[in-house]
Amino acid sequence: MTQLPHYQLFIDGAWTDGGSGQVLTSQNPATGADWATFACADAGDVDRAIGAARRVLNDPAWRDMTQTQRGKLLYRLADLIAEHAQEIGRIETTDSGKLLAETASQTGYIADYYRYYAGLADKIEGAVLPIDKPDMHVFTRREPIGVVVAIVPWNAQMFLTATKLGPALAAGCTVVLKASEIAPAPMLEFARLIEQAGFPPGVVSVITGDAENCAIPLTRHRDVDRIAFTGGPETARHVVRNSAENFAVTTLELGGKSPILVFEDADLDGAANGLIAGNFGASGQSCVAGSRGLVHRSVMDDLIARIKAKMADVVIGDPLEAVTHIGPLCTEAQVMRIEATLAAAVEGGAQIQFGGARLDRPGNYMAPTLVKCADADTETLKVEMFGPVMSLLPFDTEEEAIVLANATPFGLGSGVFTQNVARAHRVSARIKAGICWVNTYRAVSPIAPFGGFNQSGYGREAGIEAIHDYTRTKTVWISTSEAPMANPFVMR
C-alpha cells in the first residue's frame, strides 16, 4: 500500500507535527481519493509560533536588518516562487481541483507581488514636520506594527498570501500564516521556499488547523498586533470578536455577490467573455465572481445565444490536463449547496438555460450553469454560489441597473460593459464596490489596491498604501535649544 505524502507544520524555522497529534486527510477533488495528510496545530503550537514571532522582532538578525536587506530577501523569495511555480501549481491543483493552467501561471505571476514589495522595502519613509514651536526638531518614522497573523482561504491562497506577506515582511513585521484546513498543502510547500530564501527562523511560521484548536487561539492571542483575514463574513465576525482580546488592527477581505452590467451598446462578444470569465473562471470559486449578470432587456436573448455558443466548446475534465477549461469544485459540500440553491431558484420561476446538474463522474464536478432569473428575488442572485453558476436578470434603464447592482449587502467586485465612455464613468462612480472593471473582468496587479465595501470587508490589499498598514507612526520631538527645559509650573 502506497504511503500518502505527509505535510508538517513550519514553526520557528523547524518542521514539526502538531502537539495534539491531530492529522487530517486531504482528498483530490477530481477523483475523491485520499492523496495527502497534514498535521494540525493546537493552542500550544499557536503559542510557540506567536512566541517565536515576538522573540525575533527583537532579535538583531531581523531587527537590525536594513530595509534594503529585507528587500533583497523578498527578491530571493520571488525568484524561488517563479522557479517552483509549476511544482507548487501541481500540488495546489491536486489539493483543490483548480486548473493547473491557472495555479501554475498564478503562482508564477505572484512572484511579481513579492518583487513589488521588495522594491518598496527601502522606501518606507517618515517626514520632518514644520512644527509651530521654536527650538524643536520634530519628525516621524514608520516602524513595524509587530506580529501579524495572516489567514487565507484555499481558493486563491498563493495570491492572497502574497498581498499580506509581501508588505508585512517589507515593513519588518513577523508573520504567522494560517492556511485553510481545506487544501493546505501548497501553503506548507511554500514554507520550504521561505526557509530557502534565508529569512531568520521565526520570521514566518506556517500552520493550519481547525477553528477551535488553531484559529481561535491564534486570533485572540495577546501577542498579536495585526490580523489580515480573507474568508467568509460569518468567520470574520468571530475574528473581530476575538480581536477584542488583543486590540489587533484588523483588515477583512470577505465574500461578494458582484454585479456585471451589460448595456445595450456593449460589445456583446466581449460582454459574453466577461461573464464567462467572471462566473466560470476558477470554476466560479472566486470572491469576485460576477454572479449577478444585469443585462439590458433588448440584448438579453442575443447575449444568452452568444454565451451558449462559446460554452459549447468548453472542456470539463481533469484539472491537470492542459485541454481542460473547467475542473471540479474543491468540496462535496459546495456541489450540494449549489444543487439546493438551483432547486429553490427554479421553484421561484427561474429558467435553467444550460447545465444545472452534477456530472455523472467521480469527483466534485458541477456542470457550468446559466440561470435566467424571473426577478431580483431569485435565490441564485442572493446566495454566494462559489461554483460555476451564472445568473442573468434584465433591466430597462441605466438607473434601474445601478439600483439593482447596489441591492446587496456585499460590495467587492463589479463590472460594466458599454461603449459609451461617459456612461462608464457615470456608472462606475455610483456602484458601491471596491473594484469596478470596465469592458474587462478579474484583472489584478500588485500596483492596484483591492478590497470591499459593506459586508465585503474593510481595508485594502496590494498597492503602495498597503505597506503602510503594516507600520505604526512614531513621532520624535527633539529640543534644539541650549537652555535646559523650563520649569513646567511657570507658565509663559
**Burial 208-241, CB ≥16 within 10 A → b, else e:** bbeeebbbbbbbbbeebbbbbbbbebebbebbee
- Grid cell locating 69: 536587506
SS3 45: helix
Q: What is the largest CA-CA distance in the chain?
A: 87
Catalytic residue among 253, 379, 384, 398: 253
Cell numbers of 169, please?
515582511
By residue count, the chain amounts to 492
For 119, the 3-state DSSP assignment is: helix
Relative orientation angle of helices 67-83 and 157-171, to the nearest 10 degrees: 160
- Of 18, 26, 67, nearest to 45 (Cα)? 18
Nearest partner of 333 among 382, 385, 381, 293, judged by Cα: 385
Ranges of beta strands (E only) in 213-328 are: 226-230, 249-253, 259-262, 292-296
Backbone angles phi, psi at 181, to 5 degrees: -75, -5
Q: Is 253 a catalytic residue?
A: yes
Which cell goes with 325? 477549461
Strand runs labelled E in 245-377: 249-253, 259-262, 292-296, 351-354, 369-372
Residues that are catalytic: 253
